[in-house]
Amino acid sequence: MASRNSFAVEEWYHCYNRGVDKRAIFDNESDANRFLMLLYLCNGTEPVYLYNARKPNLIKTFQENRGRPLAAIGAFCLMPNHYHLLIKEVIEGGITSFMRKLGTAYTMYFNMKYERVGHLFCGQFRSRHVMNDRYLQRLFHYIHCNPAELYEADWKLGKVRNMSSLEKKLVEYPYSSLGSYAQRQSASPVLSSEGFEVAQTSSVSRMLEEARAYYAEISKDKFER
């Protein structure tokens, strides 16, 4: 587990968090789109302003000047009550600054929209250092296979009823970067080119195998239970 001050430049990290008390943090498409928008806006040296809270305009947002990127985002996936990011530190303090801006901006949006107060996320984000290339490839697969639980409840047990259907659903899942990697191009402005330079393609069955192995490892963390 990396501390908030131990991110090394040019190193990759798995950063993740979930809703407090495991509550939903994305109630609908608008919320998920807002988070995608903030993944882009908060990853920059320019300040982030809360605007048009109820109807985010993705096209307009991705044209905003965010300044110099703070980190390189290699992969992402949003689930109803948590998110996963694969991030590379490109400038000293970049990941910490980016994640702080992201958490604050989304919580402000969510609390304003739903007229609530207090924390939305379960404390500070968690992070794991990517120690080698093998670990990096496994992490790509784990992040991109997260939505499998929405379609195949027993996938973590190695049971998939319809592999071809699951492959199609994973690629088409709108809140994951897998679709961009399937096309081998950065279709999402959120992603950085660094991810495409290191990611390796695999079959869905292989991806699920690697994802299960990674899940078994992080499940030892009480945070993940």
For 84, the enclosing helix (H) or strand (E) is: strand 82-89
- 2, pLDDT greater than 70: no
Whole-number pLDDT of residue 203: 87
> Would you state the pLDDT for residue 3?
45
- Give the helix/strand (H/E) hosting 198: helix 193-198
Task: Mention every residue, 6+ apart, whose C-beta is less than 8 A from residue 25.
Answer: 18, 19, 31, 80, 81, 82, 83, 106, 110, 120, 121
Q: How confident is the model at residue 146 (pLDDT cuts 50, 70, 90)?
A: very high
Of the chain, the percentage scoring pLDDT greater than 90 comes to 70
Q: Structural domains in the chain?
A: 12-127 (3.30.70.1290), 132-224 (no CATH)
Average pLDDT for residues 85-112, to the nearest whole number? Answer: 95
Cβ within 8 Å of residue 131, ≥6 positions away: none
Q: Kindly indicate the confidence band of residue 56, based on its pLDDT and cuts at 50, 70 and 90.
A: low
**pLDDT tens digits, residue range 158-168?**
899 999 999 99
pLDDT greater than 60 at residue 222:
no
Q: 131 in helix, strand or coil?
A: coil
Q: How confident is the model at residue 33 (pLDDT cuts 50, 70, 90)?
A: very high
pLDDT at residue 224 greater than cutoff 60: no
- Residue-averaged pLDDT of the chain: 89
Name the H helices within 91-159: 94-114, 133-145, 148-151
Residue 98 pairs with which residues in a beta bridge?
none
pLDDT for 125 beyond 90: yes
Give the angle 83-199-192 at the CA atoms, nearest 5°: 65
Q: What is the mean pLDDT of residues 152-162?
A: 91
Q: Which two tokens stand for residue 63?
A: 């044209």
219, two tokens: 């499940």
Q: Is the pLDDT of residue 185 over 90?
A: no
